[in-house]
Amino acid sequence: MSADTGTAAEHDGTPASGIDDVTLGRIETEVALLMRLGEATRRRTPTAEHRLLDRAAYVILRQLDAAGPQNVSALAEVLNLDGSTVTRQVSAMQRDGLIVREPDPSDGRGTMIAPTPAGLCRMAAVRAARIRLYDDVLADWTTVDRRDLAQALHRLNQALDAHTRNR
């Protein structure tokens, strides 16, 4: 951290208590650019795997792979989305053979959403392609820099999720 932008709180590991408008402005700009460039990179990368799934289907399949079958309400809650949005996406994914609906064993009236082998295969292909892309993009970064970025992004995602849930 350069001396002109750092604060005493930043150096001792405690959260900054004051608002640093310059730093917050840089964060806002960098996050906006990250989102735009992430999508542009996905569209422009010649590797077909990047386009096997849209962003929403990828996130839903990652969640189902990590946590197992879930109902739409649980998916909406964990992904911080509106239930109707998840319902529409799940319907499209079912038409594409990426997920199946199964009876909910704890509630005969409900359904659980589960990934199909084809859905998991596509998700794995997209994930592998993304990992290769980031390995290429970050080729000149040290292992420590990569770990620091992963940790900072994880903390940012946790803070954004907590902020959204507390609203």
Using CA of residue 147, residue 148, residue 150, residue 151, what is the dihedral sign? positive
Range of the domain at 133: 51-167
pLDDT digit string (tens) for the chain, length 167 residues: 444 444 445 555 656 656 688 889 999 999 999 989 988 887 777 777 767 888 889 999 999 999 999 999 999 999 988 889 999 999 999 999 999 999 888 877 888 999 999 999 999 999 999 999 999 999 999 999 999 999 999 999 999 989 988 87
Q: Could you tell me if residue 126 is inside a domain?
A: yes
Residue 40 covered by a domain: no
Residue 14 belongs to some domain of the structure: no
What distance in Å separates the CA atoms of residue 71 and residue 109, rounded to the nearest whole number? 11
Q: Is residue 37 part of a domain?
A: no
Q: What b-and-e string marks burial along 13-35, b requiring 16 or more CB atoms within 10 Å of the CB?
A: eeeeeeeeeeeeeeeeeeeeeee
In this structure, what CATH number is given to the domain that contains residue 149?
A: 1.10.10.10
Q: Judge whether 4 lies within some domain.
A: no
**How many separate domains does the chain show?**
1
- The pLDDT assigned to 20 comes to 84
pTM above 0.75, yes or no: yes
127 lies in some domain? yes
Instruction: Give the pLDDT score at 5.
Output: 47
pLDDT value at residue 11: 57
Q: Is residue 64 part of a domain?
A: yes
Q: Is 116 part of a structural domain of the chain?
A: yes
pLDDT score recorded for residue 78: 92
